[in-house]
Amino acid sequence: MPVATTTGLRALAQRDRALGAVMKRLGPLPAFPQPAQRRMSTFAYLARSIVYQQLAGKAAATIFGRVCALTRGCDFPTPQALLSLSDDTLRGAGLSRAKLAALRDLSERVLDGRLKTRGLSRLGNDEIIERLVAVRGIGPWTAQMFLIFKLGRLDVLPIADLGVQEGARILDGLSKRPTPKELAARGAAWAPLSSVAAWYMWRLADEAKESLA
């Protein structure tokens, strides 16, 4: 698993002094992936990502837990098990029609081999994104989160993420968030640790929200 070395982090802080000050103030970033994400299968992680889309964390966790409880054990159903469950049963757990369709598409692709989860981690970022976005309900952002938080890829910059944009706005003292194109240019200095910079941008955005609460 890739690791952000002390030397690499120091070089990043030196290349971007503003970011370096934030890194020093907010402290070290956690390891990617966290143990819970590391233990999850690729299928379960992607399914969880679909369930959690556009929902508050607590509501999403409740629905995800209900789906997990539909089969034996405490884990998310396997692709075979999920496909064996009726629409009414899955809808009763709280899944929307769109998410139900996405989960069925994901399950079918894993089972028939259109999405090969084994060996996926050995592919490059762009190829992984290309394969994942072919699944219904998985867009570039979800694929990028998979790269960062499931595979631990260190050089991923989600330029369309509002939290990263807001963090960059705060970092540079801007009056408005940078556009994706502007953020891509601004973040060029963060390579090859763009994921690290993104994590700090999220923390800056969270910190601003908490100050207003």
Catalytic residues: 161
- Rounded Cα distance between 188 and 15, Å, is 11
- Rounded Cα distance between 30 and 196, Å, is 10
Helix (H) or strand (E) holding 133: none
CA 209 vs CA 72, 84, 88, 146, 205: distances in Å:
40, 43, 38, 25, 6
- Rounded Cα distance between 76 and 72, Å, is 9
- Rounded Cα distance between 135 and 58, Å, is 25
97, 136 Cβ separation under 8 angstroms: no
Q: How many CB atoms lie within 10 A of CB 21?
A: 12
60, 67 Cβ separation under 8 angstroms: no
Q: How many CB atoms lie within 10 A of CB 38?
A: 15
